[in-house]
């Protein structure tokens, strides 16, 4: 493994390992007190396994050895099906030792390994004093919570939406003007409407969780990062009760830790510098969440040195977000061991945009930096402006609509139509052209919607139909690859409106493609799908592959991998881990092989499971290559990928 | 798996689909076109509150379409659901044994029924083709 990548990834690994160890300890304590749930042992095993994998790839042999020892013991416990109480102590000690090793202050921890081996031995002659951990209903903290697959809630939402439409039809049948009826009918209709509103809210609420559900560990993480850098920083949480779509929230933990790390490492000055600048010795980082209409704004603000003035002046017209998210951009003038900037703000931006959100950055030299993630409150509801073009209805997310103007005089700039608006020239385009639809010519004076996606653009349509809060429905797996849409919705009259993706509208992708003279298609770099549940390993692999010129898509587990594979057009190879939640690497390989469309896709399994059995299983399910994380070698990986893609 | 098939006419020809892949048959109603999708995608329709993609089956089969589809066959495979625009459903019942081999990638083979050739559809392959056809 090249050291260039090491320095960048060791910090990420450290954060991830610490986070894993936090849950590890919590889980062991829960097992000890009999309040653990059925998946507790699996969760412990995965924590140890992930730490082992990451450590192996980064060449941290002591960490790897200890994590391996823990994993071995847990593998036996898993077989046993019950958790022996006397194992809690050595496991907790192992967690402490791992934490010290990860921080670089621990040694080989031979005594801990011995204790584990002892616990291991005692497992074999184990019989009584076992805690039945499978769904143990012991203890006072019995929770009446159930896990429901998201699809079931979506189906419920579909049905609520249908019921709303049904109600409107019923109202129509009863004869448009309600006042013709006696009061009792209209009372009942009003009552029904209120019930339906409540029902819709209740269904949507099931999809949301408060920010506090992921924020608990953040103050500790900030304190640890600060301590390591010799800084004094306090994290304050504001608005932690703010609710957000569960799917989005669960994916936010990693990006937030990154933003916090950046704030501490690059924002907050050393105590000496702060004193010189007349600031309090203790730096402050505030993580706040607030609802802004249909969006939730999550802000990480520090009172540090801000972005250097020369960076601000370098921006030259580009926004601060654009400058800071250029791949590999770093504001640290000196490289500290925490400056893992290669997977910095650009990754966070991509992440936010994948949920139709956006990123805002404000910074003032000497005063501090504020980074705001704007995310939809729920993925199920969207406020849109409905417009019509060529007899079809489209929805534009209201969050990115700046204003609506009527097109009278159009200008031309560099051969492209533009609109003059209060002294600014904004590119102008027909909605039909942007989407690739055919439609009759636009009338003079048609309305133009000023859409601010990645770029600002005036989108012209036939007429506006008004604002509406709509239920977002997926276009389904088969149409998922058709870019440019966030989904579709069903309107009050039963018609379907496609919901346009404002970021894609602005990039005017299609019209440009059409305008290009027919010639040999550009050869794009092959795309590799990296499926890996460890953030460290995933980003390390991404960075290695991207550095070698590949395009990379990542997925968090096998299920996510299959989704991505369905959505991404031209994946040329899959690189997958084995041990993952939801769907493991073997199952993923099987599914990919079973689908005729992807049956011949090259698959490389990279894992720390390196027994012959596993190897055989990997080959049996149809993997093309099997690489061990233990002997992970960047060059070997690239050679294997290149050979299989045939580049 | 039963050998009951749904017989349908597409582009003036006769085809058969295993009945377990057919959820329902309805009139081909209003569709919203999906600009940017492949040519075989006729659009999306509202099937009781769910958004269903609709494909022109004659075009997927590469039959120069002289006929206009009037019916919608809702098919399911591997948890994925699509609408297939067809002319009509002619029959539901058991099919004579598949005798004729074909070189079509979409067919398991062909059966000879009362002097007519019936193409027996390989649903998995058709869905894989739909996935390709969905893109521009």
Per residue in A558-607, pLDDT (tens digit) is 999 998 898 887 899 999 988 888 888 989 999 998 888 888 889 998 87
Contact B80, B87 (CB under 8 A): no
Closest Cα to residue A108, out of A63, A69, A48, A72? A63
Q: Which residues of A are less than 8 Å from B82 in CB distance?
A: 476, 478
Position of tokens 């304590």? Answer: A29
pLDDT band at A131 (very low <50, low <70, confident <90, very high): very low
Name the residue facing B46 among A432, A474, A494 (closest C-beta): A494
> Which is nearest to A198 in space by CA: A246, A163, A150?
A163
* Residues A427 and A418: beta-carbon distance below 8 Å: yes
Other beta carbons less than 10 A from residue A105's beta carbon:
8
Q: What is the pLDDT of residues A482-515, one digit of tens each?
A: 878 888 998 878 889 999 988 777 654 433 333 3
Which residue from B minimizes the CA distance to A475?
B51
The whole-number pLDDT of residue A519 equals 33
CB A554 within 8 A of CB A585: no
Q: Which among B45, B50, B134 is the nearest to A479, CB-wise?
A: B134
* A373-414 pLDDT, tens digit each: 988 877 777 888 999 999 999 999 887 888 888 887 777 666
Considering only A121-130, A311-320, B38-47, B72-81, which range has the smallest mean pLDDT? A121-130
Per-residue model confidence as pLDDT tens digits over A36-60:
887 888 889 888 988 988 888 788 8
**Contact predicate A583/A561, CB 8 Å:** yes
- Which of B36, B51, B135 lies closest to A496 in CB terms? B51
Nearest one of A16, A81, A4, A10 to A42, comparing CA atoms:
A81
Question: Would the CB atoms of B81 and A490 count as touching at under 8 Å?
Answer: no
Q: Which residue of A has its CA nearest to B128?
A: A597
| pLDDT of B22 over the 90 cut | yes
Buried-state track A423-456, b at ≥16 Cβ within 10 A, e below 16: eeebbbbbbbbbbbbebeebeeebbbbbbbbbee
User: Higher-confidence residue: A336 or A617?
Assistant: A617
What's the pTM? 0.52
Which residues in chain A are contacts of B48 at CB distance < 8 A? 162
pLDDT band at A185 (very low <50, low <70, confident <90, very high): confident
Calculate how close chain B gets to A250, using CA atoms only, in Å.
25
User: Which residue in B41, B46, B127 is closest to A490 by CB distance?
Assistant: B46
In sequence order, what DSSP letters do the residues of A210-256 get, joined into one string? ETHHHHTTHHHHHHHHHHHTT--EEEEEESTT-EEEHHHHHTTHHHH
List pLDDT tens digits, range A453-483: 667 889 999 999 988 888 888 888 888 778 7
Return d(Cα B34, Cα A476) in angstroms, integer: 13
Q: Do A165 and B49 touch (CB under 8 A)?
A: yes
Residue B122 confidence class, pLDDT cut points 50, 70, 90: very high
CB within 8 Å: B32 and A496 = yes
Residue A297 is predicted with a pLDDT of: 92
The three-state secondary structure class of B39 is coil
Contact list in A for residue B49 (CB cut-off 8 A) is 158-159, 161-162, 165, 490
Judged against a pLDDT cut of 60, whether residue A126 lies above it is answered with no
Range list of β-strands (E), A42-106 = 83-84
């Amino acid at each position: 493994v090249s050291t260039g990548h090491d320095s960048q990834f060791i910090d990420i690994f450290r954060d991830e390992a610490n986070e894993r160890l936090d849950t590890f300890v919590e889980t062991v304590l829960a097992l000890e007190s009999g309040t653990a749930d059925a998946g507790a042992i699996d969760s412990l095993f995965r924590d140890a396994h992930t730490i082992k994998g990451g450590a192996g790839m980064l060449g941290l042999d002591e960490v790897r050895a200890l994590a391996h020892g823990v994993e071995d013991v847990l593998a036996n416990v898993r077989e046993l099906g019950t958790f022996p109480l006397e194992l809690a102590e050595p496991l907790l000690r192992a967690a402490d030792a791992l934490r010290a090793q990860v921080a670089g202050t621990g040694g080989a921890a031979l005594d801990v390994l011995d204790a584990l081996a002892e616990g291991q031995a005692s497992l074999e002659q184990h019989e009584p004093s076992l805690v039945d951990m499978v769904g143990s209903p012991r203890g006072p903290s019995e929770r009446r919570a159930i896990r429901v697959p998201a699809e079931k809630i979506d189906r419920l939402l579909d049905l609520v939406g249908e019921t709303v439409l049904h109600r409107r039809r019923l109202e129509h049948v009863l004869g448009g003007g309600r006042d013709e009826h006696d009061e009792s009918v209209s009372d009942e209709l009003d009552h029904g409407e209120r019930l339906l509103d409540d029902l819709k809210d209740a269904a949507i609420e099931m999809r949301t969780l408060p920010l506090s559900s992921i924020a608990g560990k953040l103050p500790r993480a900030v304190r640890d990062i600060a301590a390591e850098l010799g800084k004094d920083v306090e994290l304050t949480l504001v608005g932690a009760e703010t609710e957000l779509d569960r799917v989005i929230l669960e994916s936010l933990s990693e990006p937030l830790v990154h933003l916090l790390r950046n704030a501490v490492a690059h924002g907050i000055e050393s105590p000496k510098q702060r004193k010189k600048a007349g600031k309090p010795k203790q730096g402050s980082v505030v993580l706040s969440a607030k609802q802004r209409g249909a969006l939730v704004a999550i802000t990480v603000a520090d009172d540090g040195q801000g972005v250097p003035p020369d960076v601000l002046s370098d921006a030259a017209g580009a926004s601060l977000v654009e400058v800071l998210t250029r791949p590999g951009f770093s504001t640290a003038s000196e490289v500290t061991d925490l400056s893992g900037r290669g997977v910095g703000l650009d990754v966070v931006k991509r992440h936010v945009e994948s949920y139709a959100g956006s990123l805002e950055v404000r910074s003032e030299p000497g005063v501090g930096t504020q980074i705001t993630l704007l995310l939809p409150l729920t993925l199920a509801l969207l406020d849109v402006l409905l417009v019509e073009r060529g007899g079809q209805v489209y929805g534009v997310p209201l969050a990115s609509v700046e204003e609506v103007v009527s097109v009278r005089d159009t200008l031309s700039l560099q051969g492209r139509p533009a609109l003059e608006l209060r002294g600014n020239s904004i590119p102008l385009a027909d909605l039909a052209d942007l989407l690739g639809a055919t439609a009759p010519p636009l009338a003079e004076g048609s309305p133009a919607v000023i859409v601010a996606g990645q770029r600002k653009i005036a989108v012209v349509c036939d007429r506006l139909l008004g604002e509406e809060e709509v239920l977002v429905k997926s276009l389904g797996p088969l149409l998922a690859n058709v870019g440019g849409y966030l989904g579709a919705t069903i309107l009050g009259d039963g018609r379907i409106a496609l919901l346009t993706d404002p970021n894609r509208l602005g990039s005017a992708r299609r019209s440009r493609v059409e305008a290009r003279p027919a010639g040999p298609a550009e050869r794009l770099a092959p795309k590799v799908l990296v499926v890996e549940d460890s953030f460290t390993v995933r980003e390390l692999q991404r960075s290695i592959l991207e550095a070698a010129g590949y395009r990379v898509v990542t997925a968090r587990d096998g299920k996510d991998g299959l989704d991505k594979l369905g959505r991404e057009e031209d994946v040329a190879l899959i690189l997958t881990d084995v041990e993952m939640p939801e769907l493991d690497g073997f199952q993923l390989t099987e599914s990919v092989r079973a689908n005729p469309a992807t049956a011949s896709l090259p698959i490389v399994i990279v894992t720390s499971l390196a027994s012959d059995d596993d190897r055989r299983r990997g080959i049996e399910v149809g993997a093309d290559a099997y690489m061990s994380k233990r002997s992970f070698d960047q060059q070997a990986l690239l050679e294997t990928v290149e050979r299989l893609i045939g580049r | 798996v039963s050998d009951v098939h749904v017989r349908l006419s597409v582009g003036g020809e006769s085809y058969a689909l295993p009945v377990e892949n057919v959820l329902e048959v309805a009139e081909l109603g209003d569709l919203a076109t999906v600009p940017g999708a492949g040519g075989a995608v006729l659009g999306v329709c509202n099937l009781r509150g769910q958004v269903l993609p609709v494909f022109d089956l004659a075009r997927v089969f590469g039959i120069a379409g002289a006929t206009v589809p009037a019916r919608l066959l809702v098919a399911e495979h591997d948890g994925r659901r699509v609408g297939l625009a067809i002319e009509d459903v002619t029959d539901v019942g058991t099919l004579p044994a598949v005798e004729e081999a074909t070189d079509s990638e979409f067919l398991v083979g062909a059966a000879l029924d009362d002097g007519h050739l019936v193409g027996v559809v390989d649903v998995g392959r058709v869905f894989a083709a739909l996935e390709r056809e969905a893109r521009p």
